[in-house]
């Protein structure tokens, strides 16, 4: 039953708890043995009526104050702000941060002590318009506030009637980013779970080729633990982008600016800093 406008919470199966218990242990070996790193894609897990309604209420690219990324590495929209989520989307995300879903993830992946991120930092709603992309990367490894270790990513795709020629596949690359070993289409009601480490390189690196009136929509959630195996330990870092063979991603703007600050005379540093603040202020007003 599809619904719009008002809704009755009891009429949705918000989280298929019995189904989660049934499939988690059966899929654990598939998850742990997957290459190039532990991952799995599960179709049809959630109530399709619920997801249809979330799609109907999903904000358009011009509808809310999205976080906008537009550079050589990523061209996408995102929002992790609770007040930008429609009520249905918000409640669904809360369920994905609940104990039954955490228990499912632990049983599936073998990672105990998972902790949900109630702030949805870097997650929440993601949307990519025609021509958008996300270069191959490994994710930041520490929560910026709690300093917990990031261990799992969960993606729920919301793209109805998605055609293969649109692109937008989730790509899993080897640790040296020399070869893409798997592609997963972002199909409606497809759940993707994967382990995040410094070598779990993934992305959507080729520009999206969907019709102008379509976008690639997904929900993203990240899960943490207090500590991680010694073999995975490294210093705290932000997103690690890595170019594919023959690809150039350009320099990171923030790093380039920081280098300039170290090399230029103080008077030029102050001038550049003022100009940069004006540009950012203009960008905020324009958005």
> Model pTM?
0.84
Query: Which candidate, 215, 213, 156, 210, places its Cα nearest to that of 188?
Result: 156
pLDDT of residue 250: 72
- Mean pLDDT, the chain, as a whole number? 89
Which residues lie closer than 8 Å to 89 by C-beta, 6 or more apart?
54, 57, 58, 125, 219
Tokens encoding 176: 């040296």
pLDDT value, residue 152: 98
Average pLDDT over residues 133-158: 97
> CA 20, 229, 155: angle at the middle one, nearest 5?
35
pLDDT at 148: 97
* Coil vs helix vs strand at 136: strand
The string of pLDDT tens digits covering residues 70-96 is 999 999 999 999 999 999 999 999 999
End-to-end alpha-carbon separation of the chain, Å?
37
- The predicted-structure confidence for 220-256, as pLDDT tens digits, reads as follows 999 999 999 999 999 999 999 999 999 998 754 444 4
Task: Summarize pLDDT for 4-63 with one digit per residue, the tens.
Answer: 445 455 588 899 999 999 999 999 999 999 999 999 999 999 999 999 999 999 999 999
> What are the angstrom distances between the C-alpha of 280 and each of 4, 63, 117, 260, 268?
38, 21, 28, 18, 18
Find out whether 187 and 159 touch, Cβ atoms under 8 Å: yes
How many residues are listed for the chain in this entry? 287
Share of the chain above pLDDT 90, in %: 81
Peptide bond into 222 cis (omega under 30): no
- Closest by CA to 175, choosing from 64, 41, 36, is 36
Q: Which residues pair with 221 in a beta bridge?
A: 154
Distances (CA, A) of 169 to 41, 146, 157, 183, 194: 12, 32, 11, 6, 15
Query: Beta partners for 77?
Result: 68, 127
| Segment 137-151 mean pLDDT | 96
Q: Say how many C-beta atoms besides its own lie within 10 A of residue 275's C-beta.
A: 10
pLDDT for res 260? 45
- Cα-based distances in Å from 61 to 87, 99, 209, 214, 239: 18, 32, 16, 10, 24
Element (H, E) at 217: strand 216-225
What pLDDT is recorded for position 11?
82
| Residue 91, C-beta contacts closer than 8 angstroms, at least 6 positions apart | 9, 14
SS3 261: helix
Q: Is the pLDDT of residue 283 over 90?
A: no
Q: Give the integer Cα–Cα distance in Å for 217 and 78.
A: 10
């Amino acid at each position: 039953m599809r619904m719009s406008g008002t809704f009755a919470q009891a009429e949705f199966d918000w989280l298929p708890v019995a189904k989660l218990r049934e499939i988690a242990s059966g899929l654990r070996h598939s998850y742990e043995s997957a290459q190039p790193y532990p991952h799995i894609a599960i179709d049809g897990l959630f109530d399709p009526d619920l997801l249809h309604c979330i799609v109907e209420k999903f904000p358009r690219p011009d509808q809310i104050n999205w976080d906008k990324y537009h550079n050589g590495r990523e061209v996408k929209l995102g929002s992790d702000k609770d007040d930008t989520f429609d009520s249905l989307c918000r409640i669904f995300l809360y369920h994905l941060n609940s104990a039954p879903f955490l228990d499912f993830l632990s049983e599936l992946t073998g990672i105990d002590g998972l902790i949900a991120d109630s702030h949805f930092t870097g997650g929440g709603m993601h949307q990519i318009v025609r021509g958008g992309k996300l270069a191959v990367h490994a994710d930041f490894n520490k929560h910026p506030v709690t300093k917990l270790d990031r261990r799992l990513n969960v993606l729920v795709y919301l793209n109805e009637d998605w055609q293969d020629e649109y692109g937008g596949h989730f790509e899993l690359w080897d640790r040296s980013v020399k070869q893409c070993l798997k592609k997963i289409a972002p199909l409606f009601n497809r759940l993707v779970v994967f382990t995040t480490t410094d070598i779990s390189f993934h992305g959507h690196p080729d520009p999206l080729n969907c019709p102008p009136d379509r976008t690639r929509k997904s929900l993203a959630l990240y899960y943490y633990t207090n500590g991680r195996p010694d073999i995975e330990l490294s210093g705290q870092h932000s997103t690690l982008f890595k170019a594919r063979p023959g690809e150039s991603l350009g320099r990171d703007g923030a790093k380039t600016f920081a280098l300039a600050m170290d090399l230029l005379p103080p008077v030029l540093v102050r001038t550049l800093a003022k100009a940069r603040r004006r540009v950012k202020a203009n960008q905020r007003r324009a958005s």
